[in-house]
Amino acid sequence: MHSTEIEIRTGGSAVVTDLTREVERFLADTPNGAEDGLLHAWVPHATAGLAILETGAGSDDDLLAAIDELLPRDDRWRHRHGSHGHGRDHVLPAFLPPYATVPVLGGSLALGTWQSVCLVDTNIDNAVRRVRFSFLVG
């Protein structure tokens, strides 16, 4: 197994950050080269998740709008520390888990044409995130 951790600065607003290039760099740096196996990504945070989705064509904004509709940033949440409505950020990982696993074939991610590995962070109180990538040999 080969593993590394990167730091992502997400800023002060809800964001979808495409991590696909970072994953590809990680696979390229795998000792002896990545061939067939699994890429596992993990976000060790209680208020962020990972998703496989299309970016750049509006889907990332649509996802954030859907999260706002499904999990409004308001006073309904019992978890009340932090910014207004921050409790919803703690519910997010139940809908967008803090992990994703993608097949790697011949050293390349086996993603569909429009798929990307993305960090989804709605927590405006924490602008720095860590993401761990692990390559598991098949």
Q: What is the CA radius of gyration of the chain?
A: 16
Average pLDDT (60-74) is: 96
Q: Give the pLDDT score at 1.
A: 86
DSSP string for residues in 118-137: EEEE--TT--EEEEEEEEEE
- Residue 72 above 80 pLDDT? yes
Given a contact cutoff of 8 angstroms between Cβ atoms, the answer to whether 52 and 102 are in contact is: yes
Average pLDDT (78-89) is: 89
Q: Give the pLDDT score at 29.
A: 92
Please, which residues have CB within 8 angstroms of residue 12's CB and are 6 or more apart in sequence?
124, 127
Q: Which single residue is written with the structure tokens 């998703």? A: 51
Share of the chain above pLDDT 90, in %: 86
- Calpha distance 64→14 (Å, rounded): 7
11 vs 21, higher pLDDT: 21
Per-residue pLDDT tens for 28-56? 998 887 799 999 999 999 999 999 999 98
User: In this structure, how many other beta carbons lie within 10 angstroms of the beta carbon of residue 50?
Assistant: 20
Residues 2-137: name the CATH superfamily: YjbQ-like (2.60.120.460)
Closest CA to 117 of 103, 128, 105, 137: 103
- Calpha distance 70→57 (Å, rounded): 21
**pTM (2 d.p.):** 0.93
